[in-house]
Amino acid sequence: MDDVEVAAGDYNGSIDEGMRSLNLSGHVGFDSLPDQLVNKATNQGFCFNILCIGETGIGKSTLMNTLFNTNFENEPQHHNMPGVKLKANTYELQESNVRLKLTIVDSVGFGDQINKEESYKPVVEYINQQFENYLQEELKICRSLFSYHDTRIHACLYFISPTGHGLKSLDLMTMKNLDNKVNIIPVIAKADIVSKGELHKFKVKIMSELVSNGVQIYQFPTDDETVAEGNASMNTHLPFAVVGSTEEIKLGNKMVKARQYPWGTVQVENENHCDFVKLREMLVRVNMEDLREKTHTKHYELYRRSKLTEMGFIDDNDGGKNFSLQEVYESKRNDHLNELQRKEDEMRQMFVSRVKDKEGELKKSEKELHDKFDKLKKMHMEEKKKLDEKKKSLQDDIAAFEKRKQQADTLGKEHAAAGQNKAGKKKG
């Protein structure tokens, strides 16, 4: 067996200068690592999440059915949605011995409102929420990323209407707000309604507007020699002009997916008719793993870095000092305790102030009640005095009346007696 050269250190595609190279005297077996990795990945399965953005009825569902050669049975959407809603559906697909958990997220109601200025915001919020869900799982003490269902968006197919002379302001605004969060692949939908010459001009116009507005779309990678040439060529065909159809018709001796019109037939998988095959090759067969990797290493990393910075995790590389998790924890804990103490002092002072104010109000109310009571008491005494005086006057009147009555009775008796005496004298 030929000797195998190895380098003492981590292999990163090249051997660093000064690193010792050693020869193996026999077969060790670590050349099976790629096979081990493939077997593990195959057993675990893969996940891929696609976000479809486009107006209602532009052909998003049809293209997904055509792209994955199946019928996802999506319900048709209406144009009367009050706002944009993100609807996710997850499917289990299997091809040979490879299992794929595919999630298709549809932007229901996108572009259907009269005021379209904020149509992109629910999309941005949805993408950020998936990043946040993954970050929270990653920060758990007992995390389980192996079994975690990753819902981060790996590719965004942005459907551009074939009618018009360029991108709409909504298209530019949406892609501008998404290009640092997701891999955007623009596609011209229903490209069979535009002539070849007009389609070429439309593509040039779209790319020119994207560049002039600073919109960064996904570029197929050219750093891998095995796919560099093909990807570089495909980058020049963006945006892909696609046609979707699940209807099969017979052409010659074979059945093909196509759209039939009175003037002819558009074959979905004929590269002279549309770019569907190019899209499928680039999205699924060649660059699916790169899309997954870029989502994790670029877009998610930007979100993660931003969130951890907000939490106080700072790498002070310029000063040569890295803050450990313990240091950050202690710092945040002290800040939190200080803030808690400050708020507690404020609440205590506020409580004391309110108690004093309340005591003042109570004392004032008490004084008012006492004054009112004294006033009422004084009025009562005066009334009682008046009543007593009236009572005494009445009693005096009664006594005088009784006295006059007695005098009258006495006079009456005396008068009666005198009358009787006179009568007796006359009889005698």
pLDDT tops 80 at residue 8: no
Whether 243 contacts 261, CB under 8 Å: no
**In whole numbers, what is the pLDDT of the chain averaged over residues?**
86
Average pLDDT of the segment spanning 257-263: 79
Max mean pLDDT among 325-329, 331-335, 338-342 falls in 338-342
Pairwise CA distance, residues 143 & 76, whole Å: 38
Please name each of the domains of the chain with its CATH number.
Answer: 45-311 (3.40.50.300)
pLDDT at residue 5, as a whole number:
47
Residue with more model confidence, 317 or 308 = 308
pLDDT at residue 115, as a whole number:
80
Burial (Cβ within 10 Å: 0-12, 13-18, ≥19) of residue 161 = middle
Q: Which residues contact 106 (CB under 8 A, 6 or more apart)?
A: 52, 60, 61, 74, 77, 86, 87, 88, 89
pLDDT at residue 309, as a whole number:
82
Predicted TM-score (pTM) of the model is 0.71
Average pLDDT of the segment spanning 139-152: 85
Backbone region of residue 168 per phi and psi (left: phi > 0; alpha: psi in -120 to 50; beta: other values): beta
Whether 15 contacts 5, CB under 8 Å: no
Among 16-25, 86-95, 134-143, 282-291, name the one with the lowest average pLDDT.
16-25
Written as six digits, the tokens of 167 are 């991108």
* Closest to 167 (Cα-Cα) out of 217, 233, 224: 217
- Residue range 275-295, pLDDT digits in tens: 999 999 999 999 999 999 999
Average pLDDT of the segment spanning 42-64: 91
